[in-house]
Structure 1
Amino acid sequence: MILGSKEVPQAICIIVGTNCGTGGMGMKRLWHGAKKWGQWWNRKERERQEAIELDRLLLVQEIQKAHKEWVTAQLRFEYVMEKEQIDYAVFALEAAEKRFEMLLKQAKGMQITQAEVCAGRSMEGSS
């Protein structure tokens, strides 16, 4: 663009919505730009929602896995015979319990309900 010329950059035409010598096309371009921006925004919002749902699903699956590990550790503790086995069983039980509690706290922060976890567990059993 030459200083002092009557040419106006297209970006300015789009922003202000003037025709800028294009025969009234400025508003159409502005509308088209706003429409494209809206589509981009909606796509980003949809991707964000899908990512949140995926995080929730993965956390529910981790909770279910941690619960199984905790139950297994409890059973192992009940059937130990030797001192070394007792030490390991206590360690495994405490670790499984702490992991389960940590995941439940995380789920509470994400407002995941017990019903969601149980629904996932019943779906897991049916497959």
Structure 2
Amino acid sequence: MARIPHETFDCAVGCSVEATLNLIGGKWKGVILYRLLAEQVLRFNELRRFLPNITQRMLTNQLRELERDGLVARKVYAEVPPKVEYRLTAHGQTLAPVIAALKQWGDAHIEDGTIKVPTEAG
């Protein structure tokens, strides 16, 4: 059964964590945000190259959600073939310390062996 997210976050301590995870949680959003922080501007296929295991549909959905939530801006150029670029909004850029902390924590725990990096075979 799918979990129904809160309409508002006027609840107890910890709700701010839940609200943040609703925006950036999931398998792909954090990685998309990290890549946009690192590269500044990326086209759709450039993002796909950075995320070889994501489907086109999933990437499209994740980008739409990030755009809807005001974290990513999408710019469409009127040319053939169509050119679409993605970048973080000013609001999305405020996540830089959060994403950097996640990366730092992950790097430390991968290095000490407490996190196992998934392989394509397994």
TM-score (norm 2): 0.35
Higher relative contact order at CA 8 Å, sep ≥6: structure 1 or structure 2? 2
Larger strand share, 1 or 2? 2
TM-score (norm 1): 0.34
